[in-house]
Structure 1
Amino acid sequence: MDTLTRMRAFIDVVEAEGFSAAARKIGRSKALLSKYVRELEDELGALLLNRTTRQFSLTEVGHTYYRRASEIVREIDSLADTVRDSSGDVRGRIRLTAPRTFSDAPIGQSLIDFSKEHPDVVLDIHLDDRFVDLVEEGYDLAIRITRLEDSSMIAKRLAPFSLKICGSPDLIARTGRPERPQDLSRMPCIVDTNGRWLSNWPFMRENGEMFSVPVSGPLEANSPLTTRAAAIAGLGFAPLPDFIAKPALESGELVSLLDDWVPRGGGIFAVYPHRRYLPVKIRVFVDFLAQWFRKHEAD
């Protein structure tokens, strides 16, 4: 049995957070995976996993080994993909992390459309609103909705993005229309706790200087869809991603406010680590998303 097979078994067990879950996921027996990991530990002369009947965890050396082994296996798979590139054969697994905001919105259809067009690729989607460390946690790429600041990654801009400060016509009639961001501090606001700024909303002056305004209100939720529903109901002013706010703005249920103060330069990005060999499946996936957003830009 070669080291690479044992290494893959170890990675599968770590990512599935257990032998049983890994066995179900990859279609091998729990006993076989346990054997491979035990042989790997014997080969290394080090304990990689702490095993009890109720707990599963990496040792300190196991954590280090997992991180480096994942990088090595991805490089090997990437090289194999590069060799297969000439055949046009796109297959394998893409481990993707994306925010729930992306998946729950109409633009999440892009992921379904990719799977329909490329049935030999398994799209393994993990929805998480935090900024995931792609290398540390073994992801192939991420969808990020932000003003991109991380220069250690390769990023392809898929579409523009901006926040909209929204309020219902009924709310504006009751409280008045905020003329400056600072006015929001004395008005009811809805806090989307998925946002990086929470109850300190970011704004930008004409000279590009950023500042924040503290807000509060009757409702906080970790869902932009719930935030939108609360804004439509007139509970408060709310910051919404433009693609979430769009239907309610078009119907007149919400009004966009303070547009000249909202930070600019945001986007929806496909982000992936620098690699010597970029897997064909990743390039095909990113190109598909870019074309999908161009096609649906006017929708």
Structure 2
Amino acid sequence: MDTLTRIRAFIDVVEAEGFSAAARKVGRSKALLSKYVRELEDDLGALLLNRTTRQFSLTEAGHTYYRTASDILKEIDNLADLVREGSKDLKGRIRVSAPRTFADAAVGASLIDFAVAHPDVTLEIISDDRFVDLVEEGYDVAIRITRLEDSGLIARKLSPFTLVACASPEFLERHGPIEHPSRLAEVPCVVDTNGRFLNNWRFEEPDGSSYTVSVSGRLEVNSPLTAMRAAEAGLGVAFLPDFVFGERSGAGTLVPILENYMPKDRGIYAIYPHRRYLPAKVRAFVDYLTQWFKTHQ
């Protein structure tokens, strides 16, 4: 019996959280999966699963074996992808984490366009505003809008990115011109709680020095799209992603302010785990997004 088959059976059972669920998922009998796992345990001389009539749990050895075996199988599958990379017929599943702001805005069309271009690839998009753990949570790639920091992950810049401070023309008529960030402490602001610094908005002086301004207002929301609508309604100054503001730039409902003080060190990145053999489907996905942003600036 092929050892890899036994290992795959064990991983299928663990990830499906049971023999019956795994059997339904992979199209094999429960008895056959149980046989493979038992043979794997016999080969190792260690119990990997605690089995009872109604449930099972991983032993300590099972936890250790599962983590390492999962990584090994990913490398084997990735190596197979690499060998097939010359083929244009990409297949498989790509699990992507993307901020809701990205997925819901016009730039989210980049993900849809990739799916249209590669009909044999299943694109699983999980919209989540938190920074997921790619390795622990089983993601192939994440889209992040951020200042890039050192990590054990690989980053590919897809596009530059800036925030836009803006307000409605009516708001600026009531409160007067806002020509320096310090004025924001004196006027209502719409706080997007998805922002990394919450109500401490970061700016840069022309000499490159950085500082923050504490802002406040009657509305706090975890959605840039709602913050945009609130700013249009005159509730305050909003900090919006440039690709969200861009959807309204021609309407005249919002006016950009403080443009010379906005930081320029952010970007939209594709982040993926460091792997010896990066799957061809993931490489193709990142390459596609890079090109998409070049042609949709």
* TM-score, L = length of structure 1: 0.85
**Residue number in structure 2 paired with 1:69:** 69
Once residues 50 and 175 of structure 1 are traced to their aligned partners in structure 2, the CA distance between those partners, rounded to angstroms, is 69
Once residues 74 and 68 of structure 1 are traced to their aligned partners in structure 2, the CA distance between those partners, rounded to angstroms, is 10
Note if 1:167 corresponds to 2:160.
no
**Residue number in structure 1 paired with 2:121:** 121
Identity across the alignment (%)? 64
**Residue number in structure 2 paired with 1:108:** 108
Listed as ranges, the matches of 1:125-164 within 5 Å are 125-164=125-164
Q: C-alpha offsets along residues 129-154 of structure 1, whole Å, 9 cap, x if unaligned?
A: 11112122221111111121134222
Give the superposition deviation at 1:100: 0.8
Give the superposition deviation at 1:168: 0.7
Task: Considering fraction of residues, name the structure with more helix.
Answer: 1
Note if 1:239 corresponds to 2:227.
no
Give the superposition deviation at 1:254: 0.6
Give the superposition deviation at 1:114: 0.9
Cα distance change of structure 1 residues 132 and 67 upon mapping to structure 2, 3 Å threshold: farther
Whether the 8 Å contact between 1:204 and 1:261 is mirrored in structure 2 is yes
Give the superposition deviation at 1:264: 0.7
Whether the 8 Å contact between 1:71 and 1:135 is mirrored in structure 2 is no
**Residue number in structure 2 paired with 1:229:** 229
Length, aligned pairs only: 296
* TM-score, L = length of structure 2: 0.86
Whether the 8 Å contact between 1:81 and 1:280 is mirrored in structure 2 is yes
Root-mean-square deviation (CA, aligned residues, Å) is: 3.0
Give the superposition deviation at 1:236: 1.1
Cα distance change of structure 1 residues 50 and 213 upon mapping to structure 2, 3 Å threshold: farther
Once residues 50 and 108 of structure 2 are traced to their aligned partners in structure 1, the CA distance between those partners, rounded to angstroms, is 37
**Residue number in structure 1 paired with 2:190:** 190
Q: C-alpha offsets along residues 29-81 of structure 1, whole Å, 9 cap, x if unaligned?
A: 77876776676667663456898979x98776655544433322221111001
Cα distance change of structure 1 residues 172 and 34 upon mapping to structure 2, 3 Å threshold: farther
Whether the 8 Å contact between 1:166 and 1:254 is mirrored in structure 2 is yes
Whether the 8 Å contact between 2:47 and 2:59 is mirrored in structure 1 is no
**SS of equivalent to 2:136:** helix
Cα distance change of structure 1 residues 86 and 249 upon mapping to structure 2, 3 Å threshold: closer
Once residues 50 and 176 of structure 2 are traced to their aligned partners in structure 1, the CA distance between those partners, rounded to angstroms, is 60
Cα distance change of structure 1 residues 119 and 9 upon mapping to structure 2, 3 Å threshold: farther
Whether the 8 Å contact between 1:144 and 1:270 is mirrored in structure 2 is yes
Q: Which amino acid aligns with 2:120?
A: D
Give the superposition deviation at 1:234: 0.9
Cα distance change of structure 1 residues 217 and 4 upon mapping to structure 2, 3 Å threshold: farther
Q: Which runs of 5+ in 2 are unaligned?
A: none
**SS of equivalent to 1:278:** coil
